[in-house]
Chains A and B, each alone.
Chain A
Amino acid sequence: MRIDAQGKWIVEDDLTFEINEPDAYALEEALQLKEKHQGEVIAICAGPARAASTIREALAKGADRAIHIESDGVASTDTLGVASLLAEAIKGESPDLVLTGLQSDDLGFGQTGVVLAELLGMPHGTIIMQVEVDGSSLRVKRELEDGWFQHVTMPMPAVLTIQSGINRLRYATLMGIKKAKSKELKTAPASGAGDPVAPLESVFQPQKEKKTQMLEGDARAAAAALVEKLKFEVRVLG
């Protein structure tokens, strides 16, 4: 990963882009809920033109239609800005349930879903490991710290942030990919985001906390050196 010349972000040219992992679990959860309770799954994404390939993938996996809030500025806004863009587009759809991934793999603020809930005036639950729908109410399993869990009930509509591992992800089938081509992919204007209140000023390399002894050489030499260290410095072998 290389930092760009301005020190503001990374060089994106040499990257490949894919769906954010927790978001993939959120999509899968939506598809499974639809299979159980009927209804419609809408995939929504705010991002530049290249995000269309991720949206197509969501359609191929089974989403019924999609909304692409096309904006090149998403990377330079903040979570409030992104959530505002999403909220504007979601309002018109009046969904029963809004699912997001728990956090993003790049910025990792872990709050787009919660901010979205506030902007939409909906209750929310975070780090969700199970979703049960009962009429107009939800019972969810929240992950707490240190191996603890908790069930929480709340009315719909609601926003849930989904934890990775809640379900088994499906792959898009050939048939799914074919079908996706005829599904609706609407482009929505990027409106609602103001100037960022929490701008990213610069990006830099982390400083090492510890002095690491790197064991050099080929695999065999490095392995032998490590065993030496474990035996004579750490004293756990022998």
Chain B
Amino acid sequence: MSFVLVVLERSAGKWHKMSWEALAAGQAMASELGIPCASAVLGKDLAEVAREIPGKAYAVEHDLLSDYTADGFTLALEQLIRQENPAYVVFPHTYQVRDFAPRVATRFGAVLLSDLVGIRVKGNAANYERQLFQGKLMARMLSKSSRAFLSIQAGAYRAAESREANQEVVAFAPTLDASQIRQKPEAPFRESARAVDLTAADIIVSVGRGIKEKENIAMIEELATALGGELAASRPICDSGWLPMERQVGSSGQTVAPKVYMAVGISGAIQHLVGMKGAKTIVAINKDPNAPIFEVADYGICGDLFEVVPALIEEVKKAKS
């Protein structure tokens, strides 16, 4: 019988929290299709942790899966899918999934429909919604392969508040040989202790590509100072070396939830939004009225930041004096 298989992720001995969002997506889809849903987790020594998974769970265990490798995880998951034959395989859209899931899908002649924000079930078929042009437009996609491979964007589905643990754990031992695993991973590390802790700031003023030149960042810094907040940036600013990486907000930088997050000249690509959409109040200043940042903003100013920011600095100073 066809079913939905959700592949959960563990990192550094913990569940990746997006796993439960993917599970919510998989369960919702399965219930609308009227088919069962099961989960899988890959690794080593999973007997205990697999019991924390609600519903039926496959514990895919092997010594060679103790550290993640693209080759090891691809082979192991491929074997589970061939044996159990799910019609839908759902992943959280994490960096790890981006690394190996496309490879698994290719082995089944399928394409991973990645970074989905919605799954729409009609009768016994589904279509899939995802963003295009970094969030400026949406697309509806179909999957014509016999098996659909789907990854779910962070925050697109809400994880269940509590998880009813279940004892229905099925052990699956893949056949792996060390010679099949070509990547040799070393221990994960951080570049340096972070000198700037953006997570502690009440107010963050963040700058993006719209600032055009390194010299113009001084203006944003002045605004941050006037507001008594921290200066932050989107990835391209840090990539250009205009601000240090430790001030980067987004999926590869810090995740923040301040009282006020002011995004200046930031279009709002999803990689940035996942790092700041938990802010209590979001202010967006951007010249493009269709910029995705306005989707999440509470207050918006559509205008030239080079006019708005100086005026804002003046108004803030006036209000504070």
Contact in complex: A107, B312 (CB < 8 Å): no
- For chain A, give the interface size range: 35 or more
The answer, among A10, A127, A237, A238, for a CB contact under 8 Å with B98, is: A127
B107 adjacent to chain A (CB < 8 Å): yes
Contact (A234, B281) CB under 8 Å given A118-B106, A223-B311? yes
Contact in complex: A222, B319 (CB < 8 Å): no
Indicate with 1 or 0, residue by residue over B75-95, a CB within 8 angstroms of chain A CB atoms.
Answer: 000000000000000000011
Contact (A227, B319) CB under 8 Å given A119-B106, A197-B144, A201-B141? yes
Contact in complex: A212, B303 (CB < 8 Å): no
A49 adjacent to chain B (CB < 8 Å): no
Contact in complex: A219, B132 (CB < 8 Å): no
Question: Chain B nearest CB: distance from A238 CB in Å?
Answer: 6
Contact in complex: A237, B319 (CB < 8 Å): yes
Give the complex CA separation of A114 and B105 in angstroms: 10
Contact in complex: A111, B302 (CB < 8 Å): no
Contact in complex: B143, A197 (CB < 8 Å): yes
Give the complex CA separation of A150 and B69 in angstroms: 11
Indicate with 1 or 0, residue by residue over B208-248, a CB within 8 angstroms of chain A CB atoms.
Answer: 00000000000000000001000000011011110001000
Interface residues of A in 2-43 (CB under 8 A from B): 3, 10
Contact in complex: A114, B102 (CB < 8 Å): yes
Contact in complex: A206, B137 (CB < 8 Å): yes
Contact in complex: B295, A222 (CB < 8 Å): no
Neighbouring B residues of A105 by C-beta, 8 Å: 133-134
Contact (A114, B252) CB under 8 Å given A126-B98, A212-B297, A214-B301? no
Contact in complex: A149, B189 (CB < 8 Å): yes
Neighbouring A residues of B145 by C-beta, 8 Å: 197-198
Interface residues of A in 71-113 (CB under 8 A from B): 78-80, 83, 105-111
Interface residues of A in 145-165 (CB under 8 A from B): 145-155, 164-165
- Which A-B residue pairs are the 6 nearest by beta carbons? A165-B239, A111-B102, A219-B307, A223-B311, A198-B111, A123-B182
- Please name 6 further chain A to chain B contacts, defined as beta carbons within 8 Å, in addition to the given A145-B95, A198-B141, A230-B316, sorted by A numbering: A109-B114, A149-B188, A164-B235, A197-B111, A210-B298, A227-B319
* B residues whose Cβ falls under 8 Å from a Cβ of A: 11, 69-71, 94-95, 98-100, 102-103, 105-107, 109-115, 127, 131-145, 182-191, 194, 202-203, 227, 235-236, 238-241, 245, 251-255, 259-260, 280-284, 290, 292, 294-304, 307-308, 310-312, 314-316, 318-320
